[in-house]
Structures are given as C-alpha cells and as structure tokens.
C-alpha cells in the first residue's frame, strides 16, 4: 500500500479473500473467449457483397461449374462461401428444396460463428453473483470482528465493509466486459446472417429463372427432320 492510501491490484486481490480466485478465472476466461472470437471473425471474412457480385456473373452466363470452382477456392477464409456453395450444388432442385438446404447450411454457419457466446453470457451472470457472495462472506467476517472488538469505532466498520465490497467491484467489471463483448460480437453475426439471407434470396431467384429458361429451350438438333417425319409416317401406315 502506498502512502497516499492507494492500493495495487495485487493488494486488492489479497484483500478480496478466497472469492477472488474464481473471479480471476472468470476474468481470464472472458478475455480469452472474447479475443478468440474476434480473431475467428476477422480471419473468416464475413463480407458477402463481393461473393454475390461474382456468383451472379456466373449465373448470368449459366456457368455453374465456374461458380462452383470460384467458391471452392475461398472456403478456408470466407465462411459465407459454404452457404453459397450449398446453393450452387443444389441448383437443380426445386425452389423450396433449395431454400431448405441453404437454410440448414446457414444455420450451421451461424452456430459456428456463435460458438462461445453462451460462455460469455454465463460469465456475465456468474461474475457479479460470485462477487456478491464474496461481499456477503466479507460482511459476515466484518460483523464478526465488530462483535468481538471491545472498542468499536467507525474505522473498524469502514475497513471491513470496503474490503468486502472489493469482490463485488471485480465481479461487476468482469460482467461488463463479458456483456459488452457478447453484444458487439452478436451484432456482427446478426449482420452477417441478415446479409447472407438477402443475398441467398436474390441468388435463388436468379437460379430459378435460369432453370426455367433452360427448361424452355428446345434443342432443334434433336427434332426429326422433314424426311424423318415422312419416314415415320410411312412406318405408321405400314
């Protein structure tokens, strides 16, 4: 403790008592999970606008193989590619079946992005509760000391109270960090989900139109020539 009455973190940790140890674990876990999720989201580029532009270009020309090769080359860095690749792989199905397949793949991707979010929520709830428990335990000890003291004064009461409140302060700080991290990361994932849903909707419409166009085409090379028609007619009469 310094001369001006300030305490270092180590001294505050010692004064907080045994409940500072679970709070220390919660703080390390919160920071580790938040950093891991930030790095994961930054590594897997969640932007889908560039993917939409390129895939639409392939769909205009009907080049499904080119779209598939392009998306396959980006699966390691863009998690949204998995959704669009699923869409391309199921392009020959009906509109409803394509939507179901894409929805299932998109849900898998979102769950992957949200991995660890539940732990942040749990840490945000457990940290202040643990801090309150430490405060209650400290208050019990403070009042016990007051009861055993022959001369009770304000200093004895104040020392016991502020030492007991240390765990509450640490617990609230950890909870704030956990909830802020959870809110920011959830916003990023929700934006990705909304952008992906809109992009998939546009691409499904393009694929349905392309399929309808292909079904409407007639390969005139496969139609019988006039001579073949006459031969078929003569064959029917005979």
> How many other CB atoms are there within 10 angstroms of residue 212's CB atom?
9
| Relative orientation angle of helices 9-16 and 20-43, to the nearest 10 degrees | 130
Q: Residue 158 is encoded by which pair of tokens? A: 């104040």
| pLDDT digit string, tens, across residues 179-236 | 999 999 999 999 999 999 999 999 999 898 888 877 765 443 444 455 544 444 444 4
> Could you read off the pLDDT tens digit of each residue along the chain, which spans 238 residues?
444 556 777 888 888 888 999 999 999 999 999 999 999 999 988 988 888 889 988 888 888 889 999 998 887 778 889 999 999 999 888 888 999 999 999 999 999 999 999 999 999 999 999 999 988 988 887 788 778 777 777 777 777 777 788 999 999 999 999 999 999 999 999 999 999 999 999 999 989 888 887 776 544 344 445 554 444 444 444 4
Within 8 A by CB and 6+ apart from 90, the residues are 97, 98, 101, 102
With respect to residue 37, please indicate whether it lies within any of the assigned structural domains. yes
Residue 26 belongs to some domain of the structure: yes
Contact (Cβ atoms closer than 8 angstroms) between residue 83 and residue 102: yes
Does residue 184 lie within any of the structural domains? yes
228 inside domain: no
Q: In this structure, is residue 42 part of a structural domain?
A: yes
pLDDT for 225: 52
E strands, the chain, are: none
Res 5: pLDDT: 56
Give the residue among 88, 74, 48 at the shortest CA–CA distance from 197: 48
pLDDT the model gives residue 36: 96
- CA atoms of 102 and 200, how far apart (whole Å): 8
pTM assigned to the model = 0.80
pLDDT at 2: 44
Asked if the structure places residue 33 within a domain, the reply is: yes
143 within domain boundaries: no
* Domain count of the fold of the chain: 1
Measured distance between the N- and C-terminal CA atoms of the chain, rounded to whole angstroms: 116
Asked, for residue 7, whether it belongs to a domain, the answer is: no
Q: Domain of 31?
A: 18-128+174-221
């Amino acid at each position: 403790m310094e001369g001006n009455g300030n305490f270092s973190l180590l001294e505050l940790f010692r004064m907080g008592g045994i409940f500072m140890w679970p709070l220390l674990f919660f703080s390390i876990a919160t920071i580790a999970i938040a950093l891991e999720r930030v790095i994961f989201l930054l590594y897997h580029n969640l932007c889908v606008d560039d993917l939409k532009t390129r895939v639409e270009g392939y769909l205009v020309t009907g080049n499904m193989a080119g779209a598939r090769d392009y998306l396959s080359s980006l699966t390691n860095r863009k998690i949204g590619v998995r959704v669009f690749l699923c869409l391309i792989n199921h392009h020959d199905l009906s509109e409803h079946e394509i939507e179901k397949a894409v929805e299932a793949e998109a849900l898998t991707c979102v769950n992957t992005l949200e991995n660890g979010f539940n732990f942040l929520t749990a840490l945000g709830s457990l940290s202040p509760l643990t801090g309150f428990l430490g405060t209650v335990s400290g208050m019990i000890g403070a009042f016990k000391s007051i009861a055993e003291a022959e001369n009770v004064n304000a200093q004895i009461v104040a020392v016991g109270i502020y030492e007991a409140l240390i765990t509450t302060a640490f617990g609230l700080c950890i909870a704030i960090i956990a909830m802020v991290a959870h809110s920011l990361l959830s916003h990023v994932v929700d934006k990705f989900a909304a952008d992906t849903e809109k992009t998939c909707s546009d691409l499904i419409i393009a694929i349905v139109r392309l399929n309808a166009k292909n079904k409407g085409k007639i390969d005139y090379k496969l139609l019988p020539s006039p001579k073949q028609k006459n031969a078929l007619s003569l064959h029917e009469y005979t």
